[in-house]
């Protein structure tokens, strides 16, 4: 068989020659480069001149060997076809995976581009907002500086007002101290007046007690005189005198009851006097509150205090005269009390 006939056989078998396979299979893996493929290449890639230079005796031997090799060749072709099918399947799988990866990469690139655009938009908006805030902050700082200047001017004005107020307060405190001194004098005068009133009340109570004692003594004297008269009249009738004495005893018991009632009445009077004293204390407290109110009106109070001092001096002289007259009457009354027991 000639080499041209071999190429035609390759075409009829729809199988590519090993030379073409070798050119196509160069970029594949090393498992296709086995010993069998190398033998096929060695047998079918020899030059044509060597085969046709042999002798006639050797031609028959070569034909028998070729027939034998063709059977092996067919088997090896079947193996090659199976491996080629496997290779095509792997190739399709690789192509499909490559396309999928390519599509995923494109999709990720698109997403990345969208994200990049969104990020650029956000950065642009952030820059705009930052610029707005910077301008706003600068305006606010200017306003704050203006307000600080205004506050400093106001503070200076307040300092002047405070100095004036301090001077007014000093004058006020001086006037207040003068008023306190005058109030102290008034309180001392009122305390002396209250003491004198208490002394007068005590003297009045003593007088009332003494008057009641005198009334009791007078009653006893009258009873004693009646007894003497009864004794002088009824010396003869002792029994009648005893009966009269019993009546006198009953009368004395009634008198003692009356005396007890008088003592109770005196206790009531004392309680009433205590209530009067409490009312006077309340009145004094009210007057103290009124005096505190008067302190608020300084100038008016000064004028009123001067007028009151003049009026109090007049009343003081009048009370002195009245007190001297009353003291003279008390002396006369004491002389009368001393004379009554005699």
CA dihedral 36→38→41→44, nearest 10 degrees, is -50
Domain check: are 244 and 333 in the same one?
Answer: yes
User: In this predicted structure, what is the pLDDT of residue 328?
Assistant: 62
Neighbours of 301 (CB within 10 A): 19
Beta strands, E only, 103-186: none
Residue 174 located in a structural domain: no
Q: Is the dihedral of CA 248, 249, 253, 255 positive or negative?
A: positive
Domain check: are 104 and 231 in the same one?
Answer: no
Q: What is the mean pLDDT of residues 147-153?
A: 85
Helix or strand holding residue 223 (H, E): helix 56-233
Residues 73 and 40 sit within 8 Å (Cβ to Cβ): yes
Domain check: are 294 and 204 in the same one?
Answer: yes
Residue 166 located in a structural domain: no
pLDDT digits over 49-87, tens only? Answer: 444 444 445 555 555 566 666 778 778 888 888 888 888
Residue 162 located in a structural domain: no
Of 73, 90, 111, the residue that ends a domain is 111
Residue 270 located in a structural domain: yes
Domain check: are 197 and 79 in the same one?
Answer: no
Residue 246 located in a structural domain: yes
Domain check: are 203 and 334 in the same one?
Answer: yes
Domain check: are 213 and 326 in the same one?
Answer: yes
Domain check: are 328 and 238 in the same one?
Answer: yes
d(CA 206, CA 210): 6
d(CA 189, CA 312): 9
CB-based contacts of 227, cutoff 8 Å, min separation 6: 248
Residues 209 and 337 sit within 8 Å (Cβ to Cβ): no
d(CA 107, CA 176): 94
Of 69, 90, 111, the residue that ends a domain is 111
- Per-residue pLDDT at 1 exceeds 50: no
User: In this predicted structure, what is the pLDDT of residue 3?
Assistant: 44
Residue 294 located in a structural domain: yes
Residue 129 located in a structural domain: no
- Per-residue pLDDT at 138 exceeds 80: yes
User: What is the pTM assigned to this prediction?
Assistant: 0.24
Q: What is the mean pLDDT of residues 19-42?
A: 45
- How many domains, the chain? 2
Domain check: are 202 and 90 in the same one?
Answer: no
The range of the structural domain enclosing residue 67 comes to 3-50+59-111
Residues 46 and 6 sit within 8 Å (Cβ to Cβ): no
Residue 317 located in a structural domain: yes
């Amino acid at each position: 068989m000639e080499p041209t006939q071999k190429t035609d056989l390759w075409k009829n078998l729809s199988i590519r020659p090993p030379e073409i396979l070798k050119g196509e299979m160069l970029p594949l893996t090393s498992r296709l480069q086995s010993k069998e493929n190398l033998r096929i290449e060695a047998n079918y890639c020899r030059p044509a001149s060597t085969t046709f230079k042999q002798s006639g005796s050797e031609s028959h031997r070569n034909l028998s060997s070729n027939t034998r090799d063709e059977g092996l060749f067919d088997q090896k072709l079947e193996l090659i076809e199976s491996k080629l099918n496997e290779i095509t399947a792997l190739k399709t799988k690789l192509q499909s995976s490559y396309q999928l990866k390519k599509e995923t990469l494109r999709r990720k690139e698109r997403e990345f581009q969208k994200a990049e655009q969104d990020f650029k938009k956000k950065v642009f908006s952030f820059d705009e907002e930052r610029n707005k805030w910077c301008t706003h902050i600068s305006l606010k700082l200017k306003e704050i500086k203006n307000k600080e200047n205004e506050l400093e001017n106001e503070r200076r004005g307040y300092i002047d007002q405070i100095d004036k107020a301090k001077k007014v307060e000093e004058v006020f405190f001086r006037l207040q101290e003068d008023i306190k001194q005058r109030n102290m004098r008034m309180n001392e005068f009122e305390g002396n007046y209250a003491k004198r009133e208490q002394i007068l009340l005590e003297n009045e109570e003593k007088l009332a007690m003494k008057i009641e004692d005198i009334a009791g003594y007078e009653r006893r004297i009258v009873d004693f005189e009646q007894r003497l008269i009864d004794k002088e009249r009824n010396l003869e009738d002792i029994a009648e005198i005893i009966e009269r004495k019993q009546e006198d005893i009953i009368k004395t018991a009634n008198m003692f009851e009356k005396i007890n009632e008088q003592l109770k009445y005196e206790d009531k009077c004392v309680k009433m006097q205590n209530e009067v004293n409490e009312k006077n204390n309340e009145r004094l407290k009210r007057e103290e509150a009124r005096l505190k109110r008067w302190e608020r009106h300084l100038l008016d109070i000064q004028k009123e205090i001067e007028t009151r001092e003049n009026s109090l001096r007049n009343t003081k002289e009048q009370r002195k005269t009245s007190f001297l007259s009353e003291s003279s009457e008390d002396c006369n009354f004491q002389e009368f009390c001393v004379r009554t027991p005699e």
